[in-house]
Amino acid sequence: MKTVFITGASSGIGEACARKFAEGGYTLLLNARNVERLTALKAELESTYHVEVVLLPFDVRDKAAAKAALEKIDQRFQSIDVLVNNAGLALGVDKEYEGDWTDYETMIDTNIKALLSITQLVVPGMIARGKGHIINIGSVAGDVAYPGGSVYCATKAAVKVLSDGLRMDLAHTPLRVTNIKPGLVETNFSVTRFHGDKERADNVYKGIKPLTGADIADVVFFAAGAPAHVQIAEVLVLATHQASGTVVYRE
């Protein structure tokens, strides 16, 4: 039975990935800070799909906590086949020179440093076992910057470069690396970005049918299920009426 480790699994794309991989029969290692939501998700997935779910409730920004959690899990779950580096967020839409420094640090620590630390903790084991797939959740925002989003865009550009670099570093191995770049996905992403302002967040998706977390989970699962000799390096996924990070047709 294959095992998948998903960060940021308590909501949005991460939760959707958990459901998709559970449906596919995977054993799941699920990480998030929200223990209540993780616990409820575990109960639902185990009951519905009869799979094993192990909870890893730590903050991905804390590498020591991540290391300790991974070392404590049962030996049966140590062989991670698929790592989905999903945990990430955007905070604020301020001009680069006016933004909140704490927001900037949180985005950089979560979107870049945490992804890198989880990769360092998991990939050596994959190399030793001679199998594994790292799937990073990037963004269309990593392709071109937009006003009020430069720091977030920079973090997602970093995800692309880290994915490309890791793929090069692993070219001599059977491991695969995929960067999935979603466009507009209606999750709690915008609520978080606007610091809980639900009305402002809802306006982001007005006039267009956005993607859902399940849409992205389908792409992630497809990439993970490709034949061993096929490496889906990068996928840009947009809503039909979104042409780029900033070009959106709204009815």
Q: Catalytic residue positions?
A: 152, 156
Neighbours of 140 (CB within 10 A): 21
Which residues are within 8 A (CB) of 218 and not within 5 positions of it... i.e. 6 or more apart?
20
How many Å is the Cα radius of gyration of the chain? 17
Cα–Cα distance for residue pair 215/136, rounded to 1 Å = 16
**Is the CB of residue 84 less than 8 Å from the CB of residue 2?**
no
Which residues are within 8 A (CB) of 7 and not within 5 positions of it... i.e. 6 or more apart?
14, 31, 32, 60, 84, 85, 86, 87, 114, 118
Roughly how many angstroms between the first and final C-alpha of the chain, as a whole number?
46
E strand or H helix that includes residue 152 = helix 150-169
Residue 45: both structure tokens together: 């997935």
Spatial CA neighbour of 157 closest among 169, 143, 137, 136: 143
Cα–Cα distance for residue pair 139/216, rounded to 1 Å = 11
Output the CA torsion sign for 6, 12, 15, 17. Answer: negative
Residue 147: both structure tokens together: 């006003």
Residue bearing tokens 């402002």:
200
